[in-house]
């Protein structure tokens, strides 16, 4: 017989007295350690091994050869043709059924087709809707019905793992969370034995190629491991010359094509985080893995017609791969990058959309030296292209540290804080210093006024970039920016500045490497800006940039030229007031930086957060600039005086800094 209910009620005071010792114990034993654990260290990401550029020659141990060129995508409609090279594995959701529309994959396709028949469809937001004919819709539907009959997988990774050279993985519409991959531990201690030293200065804990080979889903939701590890271990310490992968094994998944079978990339979603967030943010929300789709040494890799979202770091990660094509893809709200293609060659990003990234929408980092620093006797070539992409609502639309010889054309950069950035601000292990020879042409840079630094932003910005800017070159050489349009970027259209002191070499530095030239440590030379249209939209509207062209005029910088650019009412607006046009670009020797104290003061204030006497930094980059006009000009004047003062005070403290040493 139980006690009457009233007897069970303990007065509040008595309850607290009763529980007090227990609560204290609980706090000490449980809550405090948990709090310590939660704040003591950040979630660790995977770090990469010392990276090498792949041999740019094709590997003809497989037929057709892998690498050596950008691979061509095979048509979806050939996927079930058994006479073709390679086997196709089909991934779907749900089960085969007599009523195809009752299958979740085909149900999703049916809805997509119905919508497209009525409204058209797009591969990226800024293109005009494409018309979907009834014939095309029926053809795609029937082929997907056939694919469903051939479907034997429900997990993309399983199909990839079973694939070999020249094979294809076709994924029917659906949101794929890959629960089996998620079930693998991240930073599994069982995989520690495959870790090695990172790049210089050789800190332990780098995930080697073997790490990814044996533990493919430790970091990655879907891993395409293209080759066996080599029989020889990579050299320790790493080679200074990064041409040629030293521990390359034979192809096992070269020329693999992974594609969605839907009408567009919205139909097949690889979800690395919280599916309920849809295509929205915040960046990396609910991330289960560092990377959505990784392709390592996967020469000839083609990824097509998929969306990848919410990975902790990168949506799509291509590394040490010769020959890749990323086509008709979308990437949303991954923590840092929509795509990271690192030390890869012969690659193309095309017809894509990337939004919501805390670093950049696309990032072709550390490409091979095929530009002005190419090996003697080799021809100049652009090793990668980014074309026909809409890169918006990121911290930066495009980023490339040590970005050599990338051709960036026919893209739209809008609603970012900074549309495009390329820089020399590198860390050890990021080969290809300094970046050079990018060709940036026929792009639209407009309305890059998104402020990710606002408290309510759904993008988590990882760096200090200036809100309201079309593009910047932070220390690169021999880049060419031509035939683009820049409009409605409220701070600036284009910025160029030097990063003067990043590198040390010479006899007093302890660095005896060949090629280390202390006279060339300042990087911002031979850049050309011409035939760009500033402040006017394609429809003829006048939508000014804050300032069209901005240069720090770092002392000693040579051969940077601006010519034949048009602004509102004639010449573009510039800071400083005169920029060298080098006789229409014909005589670059006429351009020599002499130092602009105000502009260098701004860099010091924003990149060093320097203010004398501990005062609040003046840097205006993190607030939305005013719309260009009289008020903005007044703000500029006030800021100019403050930056001049910043520069003076900085040089009183850091007289030996190159910025101060060289500026008279």
Partner 1 sequence: MRRLAVAALIGLVLLAGAWQVRGAGAEEARRGDGLAGLHAQAEQAAAAPSYAEMQVMVCQDWRDAAPVRRRVIVSALRSVLGGEITGIGFSGRARVLADDHAVRLFDAHCGHDYARHFLLYKLYGQASGFAGVAS
Site for partner 1 in 572-611 (CB under 8 A): 603-604, 607-611
Q: Residue 68 is encoded by which pair of tokens? A: 């050596």
Q: Give 96 or 239: the residue with its C-beta nearer to partner 1.
A: 239
Can you tell me which of 2, 11, 189, 201 binds partner 1, judged by CB under 8 A? 201
CA gap 564, 584 in Å, rounded: 7
Total residues interacting with partner 1, rule: CB under 8 A: 97
Burial of 78 (0-12, 13-18, 19+ CB in 10 A): exposed
Within 517-576, which residues bind partner 1 (CB under 8 A)? Answer: 517, 520-521
Within 336-355, which residues bind partner 1 (CB under 8 A)? Answer: none
CA gap 584, 649 in Å, rounded: 38
Within 618-647, which residues bind partner 1 (CB under 8 A)? Answer: 622
Query: Within 10 Å of residue 532's Cβ, how many Cβ atoms?
Result: 26
Can you tell me which of 402, 412, 422, 478 binds partner 1, judged by CB under 8 A? 402
Options 77-85, 228-236, 365-373, 524-532: segment touching partner 1 (CB under 8 A): 365-373
Q: Residue 16 is encoded by which pair of tokens? A: 């607290």
Can you tell me which of 80, 502, 632, 635 binds partner 1, judged by CB under 8 A? 502
Beta bridge partners of 600: none
Q: Give 545 or 599: the residue with its C-beta nearer to partner 1.
A: 599
Within 6-35, which residues bind partner 1 (CB under 8 A)? Answer: 18-19, 21-23, 25-26, 28-30, 32-34
CA gap 646, 657 in Å, rounded: 14
Residue 479 Cα distances to 97, 378, 387, 474, angstroms: 56, 19, 17, 11
CB of 142 to partner 1, least distance (A): 47
Q: Give 85 or 203: the residue with its C-beta nearer to partner 1.
A: 203
Q: Give 519 or 578: the residue with its C-beta nearer to partner 1.
A: 519
CB of 401 to partner 1, least distance (A): 9
Phi, psi of 355 (to 5 degrees): -145, 150
Check residue 242 for interaction with partner 1 (CB under 8 A): yes
CA gap 358, 336 in Å, rounded: 5
CA gap 443, 419 in Å, rounded: 11
Check residue 231 for interaction with partner 1 (CB under 8 A): no
Query: Within 10 Å of residue 634's Cβ, how many Cβ atoms?
Result: 11
Instruction: Dump the DSSP string for 52-110.
Output: -BPPSS-BTTSSS-BSSSPPPPPPGGGTT-TTSSS-EEEE-SS---SSGGGSHHHHHHH
Return the beta strands (E) in 106-236 as ranges: 151-153, 168-171, 174-176, 195-197, 204-207, 220-225, 227-229
Contact 269, 306 (CB under 8 A): yes
Binding mask 409-448 for partner 1 (x = CB under 8 A): ---------------xxxxxxxxxxx--------------
Check residue 163 for interaction with partner 1 (CB under 8 A): no
Residues for the chain: how many in total? 664
Can you tell me which of 125, 129, 205, 244 binds partner 1, judged by CB under 8 A? 205
Within 270-329, which residues bind partner 1 (CB under 8 A)? Answer: none
Check residue 500 for interaction with partner 1 (CB under 8 A): yes
CA gap 187, 192 in Å, rounded: 8
Q: Give 41 or 83: the residue with its C-beta nearer to partner 1.
A: 41
Can you tell me which of 162, 188, 192, 241 binds partner 1, judged by CB under 8 A? 241
Options 84-92, 203-211, 560-568, 586-594: segment touching partner 1 (CB under 8 A): 203-211
Check residue 455 for interaction with partner 1 (CB under 8 A): yes
Q: Give 115 or 622: the residue with its C-beta nearer to partner 1.
A: 622
CB of 39 to partner 1, least distance (A): 5
Which is nearest to 258 in space by CA: 179, 184, 176? 176
Longest Cα–Cα distance of the chain, Å, equals 104
Within 34-53, which residues bind partner 1 (CB under 8 A)? Answer: 34, 36-37, 39-47
CB of 209 to partner 1, least distance (A): 17
Check residue 100 for interaction with partner 1 (CB under 8 A): no
Helix/strand/coil for 3:
coil
Question: Any idea which residue has 């031979």 for tokens?
Answer: 526
CA gap 468, 396 in Å, rounded: 11
Q: Give 508 or 539: the residue with its C-beta nearer to partner 1.
A: 508
Which is nearest to 303 in space by CA: 342, 359, 351? 351
CB of 33 to partner 1, least distance (A): 4
CB of 590 to partner 1, least distance (A): 24
Options 148-156, 323-331, 504-512, 574-582: segment touching partner 1 (CB under 8 A): 504-512
Q: Give 542 or 623: the residue with its C-beta nearer to partner 1.
A: 623
Which is nearest to 53 in space by CA: 432, 479, 439? 432
Q: Give 548 or 602: the residue with its C-beta nearer to partner 1.
A: 602
Within 469-498, which residues bind partner 1 (CB under 8 A)? Answer: 475
Which is nearest to 485 in space by CA: 440, 455, 453, 428? 440
CA atoms within 13 A on the CB side of 548: 29
Q: Give 585 or 625: the residue with its C-beta nearer to partner 1.
A: 625
Q: Give 9 or 23: the residue with its C-beta nearer to partner 1.
A: 23
CB of 489 to partner 1, least distance (A): 20
Q: Give 220 or 402: the residue with its C-beta nearer to partner 1.
A: 402
Q: Give 283 or 305: the residue with its C-beta nearer to partner 1.
A: 283
Q: Give 249 or 617: the residue with its C-beta nearer to partner 1.
A: 617
Check residue 454 for interaction with partner 1 (CB under 8 A): yes
Strand pairing class (337-342; 322-327): unpaired
């Amino acid at each position: 017989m139980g006690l009457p209910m009233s007897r069970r009620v303990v007065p509040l005071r008595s309850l607290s007295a009763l529980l007090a010792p227990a609560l204290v114990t609980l706090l000490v034993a449980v809550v405090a350690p948990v709090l310590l654990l939660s704040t003591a260290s950040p979630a660790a990401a995977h770090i990469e091994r010392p990276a090498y550029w792949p041999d740019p020659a094709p590997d003809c141990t497989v037929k057709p050869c892998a690498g050596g060129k950008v691979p061509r995508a095979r048509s979806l409609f050939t996927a079930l043709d058994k006479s073709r090279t390679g086997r196709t594995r089909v991934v779907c959701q749900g089960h085969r059924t007599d009523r195809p529309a009752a299958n979740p994959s085909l149900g999703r396709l049916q809805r997509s087709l119905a919508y497209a028949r009525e409204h058209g469809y797009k591969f990226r937001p800024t293109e005009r809707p494409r018309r979907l004919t009834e014939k095309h819709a029926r053809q795609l539907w029937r082929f997907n019905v056939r694919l469903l009959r051939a479907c034997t997988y429900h997990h993309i990774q399983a199909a990839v793992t079973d694939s070999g050279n020249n094979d294809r993985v076709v994924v029917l519409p659906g949101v794929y969370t890959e629960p089996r991959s998620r079930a693998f531990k991240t930073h599994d201690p069982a995989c520690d034995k495959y870790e090695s030293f990172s790049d210089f200065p050789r800190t332990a804990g780098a995930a080697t190629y073997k790490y990814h080979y044996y533990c493919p889903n430790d970091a990655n939701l879907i891993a395409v491991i293209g080759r066996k590890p080599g029989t020889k271990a990579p050299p320790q310490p790493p080679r200074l010359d990064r041409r040629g992968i030293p521990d390359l094994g034979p192809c096992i998944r070269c020329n693999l094509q992974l594609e969605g079978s839907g009408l567009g990339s919205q139909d097949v979603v690889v979800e690395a985080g919280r599916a309920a967030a849809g295509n929205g943010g915040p960046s990396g929300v609910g991330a289960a893995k560092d990377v959505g789709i990784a392709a390592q040494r996967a020469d000839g890799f083609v990824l097509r017609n998929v969306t990848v979202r919410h990975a902790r770091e990168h949506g799509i990660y291509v590394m040490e791969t010769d020959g890749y094509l990323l086509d008709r893809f979308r990437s949303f709200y991954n923590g840092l990058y929509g795509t990271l293609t690192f030390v890869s060659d012969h690659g193309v990003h095309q017809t894509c959309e990337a939004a919501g990234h805390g670093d950049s929408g696309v990032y072709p980092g550390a490409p091979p030296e095929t530009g002005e620093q190419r090996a003697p006797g080799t021809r100049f070539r652009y090793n990668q292209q980014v074309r026909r992409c809409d890169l918006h609502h990121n911290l930066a639309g495009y980023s490339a540290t040590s970005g050599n010889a990338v051709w960036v054309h026919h893209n739209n950069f809008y609603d970012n804080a900074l549309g495009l950035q390329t820089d020399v601000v590198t860390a050890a292990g990021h080969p290809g210093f300094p970046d050079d020879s990018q060709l940036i042409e026929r792009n639209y840079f407009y309305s890059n006024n998104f402020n990710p630094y606002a408290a309510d932003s759904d993008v988590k910005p990882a760096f200090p970039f200036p809100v309201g800017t079309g593009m910047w070159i932070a220390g690169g050489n021999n880049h060419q920016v031509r035939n683009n349009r820049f409009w409605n970027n409220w701070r600036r259209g284009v910025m160029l500045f030097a990063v003067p002191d990043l590198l040390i070499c010479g006899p007093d530095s302890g660095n005896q490497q060949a090629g280390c030239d202390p006279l060339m440590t300042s990087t911002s030379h031979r850049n050309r800006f011409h035939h760009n249209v500033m402040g006017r939209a394609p429809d003829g509207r006048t939508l000014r940039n804050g300032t069209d062209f901005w240069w720090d005029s770092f002392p000693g910088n040579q051969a940077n030229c601006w010519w034949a650019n048009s602004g509102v009412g004639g010449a573009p607006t510039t800071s400083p007031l005169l920029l060298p046009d080098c006789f229409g670009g014909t005589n670059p020797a006429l351009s020599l930086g002499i130092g602009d104290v105000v502009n260098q003061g701004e860099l010091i204030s924003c990149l060093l957060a320097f203010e004398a006497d501990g005062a609040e930094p003046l840097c205006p980059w993190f607030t939305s600039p005013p719309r260009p006009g009289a008020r903005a000009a007044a703000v500029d004047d006030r800021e100019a005086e403050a930056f001049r003062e910043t520069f003076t005070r900085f040089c009183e403290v850091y007289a030996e800094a190159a910025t101060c040493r060289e500026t008279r």
